[in-house]
Chains A and B, each alone.
Chain A
Amino acid sequence: DGGITQSPKYLFRKEGQNVTLSCEQNLNHDAMYWYRQDPGQGLRLIYYSQIVNDFQKGDIAEGYSVSREKKESFPLTVTSAQKNPTAFYLCASSIVIQHYEQYFGPGTRLTVT
């Protein structure tokens, strides 16, 4: 089955620790995205990548880092510099041909205390 997987589903960390969220897709999509969603809010774009070894900052990139070494993988690191990291993180991918419909993974809920 083709799809996007994110792991773990729930993640708990102490303040001051870096944490890496996994995102893998087997849809052969070129573009991948990371969003943050806070309770009752919409989606805010953190980073996106249209091609391997290249990525762009979104609207709220500060305190986050990414890599895109393989087409199918786009991990997100939440660093200790992110002031309020507790949130629901969603990864998405799109095919980038004609239009950019995005397909979403199940999400990772990160809690930092």
Chain B
Amino acid sequence: ELKVEQNPLFLSMQEGKNYTIYCNYSTTSDRLYWYRQDPGKSLESLFVLLSNGAVKQEGRLMASLDTKARLSTLHITAAVHDLSATYFCAVDGTSGSRLTFGEGTQLTVNP
């Protein structure tokens, strides 16, 4: 059974600081997705990582994938309040078209 673990689950940081969210998964996969969820809202796709060494950047967020280590990171640079949200990683396992989601990391950026 594929397991996806994120850490930390809760992250409170100051504006302007840098931090990294980690997503570990338990079985072989070379497809990983990051989503953002604002309170009370649906999920919004952020990044699609499709191969070992893939790196994607959008604004202050950068995601990377290391399939050998079964690890993806979401790096936040110079955080701003607008980045406050819950971030989920999801892994495309071997059982058809379903994704397995991590528990989510609730990020709060304080002024």
B43 touches A56 (CB 8 A): no
Residues from chain B with a CB closer than 8 A to the CB of A45 are 98
B111 at the binding interface (Cβ < 8 Å): no
A56 touches B48 (CB 8 A): no
8 Å CB interface, A50-97 against B: 50, 56, 58, 90, 92, 94, 96
In the complex, A103→B46 CA distance in Å?
A: 11
Binds A, one of B19-27, B65-73, B74-82, B100-108: B100-108
Contact pick for A50, options B33, B48, B97, CB 8 Å: B97
Known pairs A42-B88, A43-B88; A94 contacts B103 (CB<8 A): no
Known pairs A41-B103, A104-B43; A50 contacts B96 (CB<8 A): yes
Quote the shortest CB–CB distance from B107 to chain A (angstroms).
14
Contact pick for A101, options B45, B98, B104, CB 8 Å: B45
Q: Measuring CB to CB, which residues of chain A are less than 8 angstroms from any residue of chain B? A: 31, 33, 40-43, 45, 48, 50, 56, 58, 90, 92, 94, 96, 98-107
B48 touches A99 (CB 8 A): yes
B42 touches A90 (CB 8 A): yes
Quote the shortest CB–CB distance from A97 to chain B (angstroms).
10
B98 touches A96 (CB 8 A): no
In the complex, A63→B90 CA distance in Å?
A: 25
In the complex, A58→B104 CA distance in Å?
A: 19
A107 touches B97 (CB 8 A): no
Residues from chain A with a CB closer than 8 A to the CB of B41 are 106-107
Quote the shortest CB–CB distance from B108 to chain A (angstroms).
13
Quote the shortest CB–CB distance from B10 to chain A (angstroms).
10
Residues from chain B with a CB closer than 8 A to the CB of A56 are 96
A100 touches B88 (CB 8 A): no
Residues from chain A with a CB closer than 8 A to the CB of B106 are 40
Residues from chain B with a CB closer than 8 A to the CB of A106 are 41-42
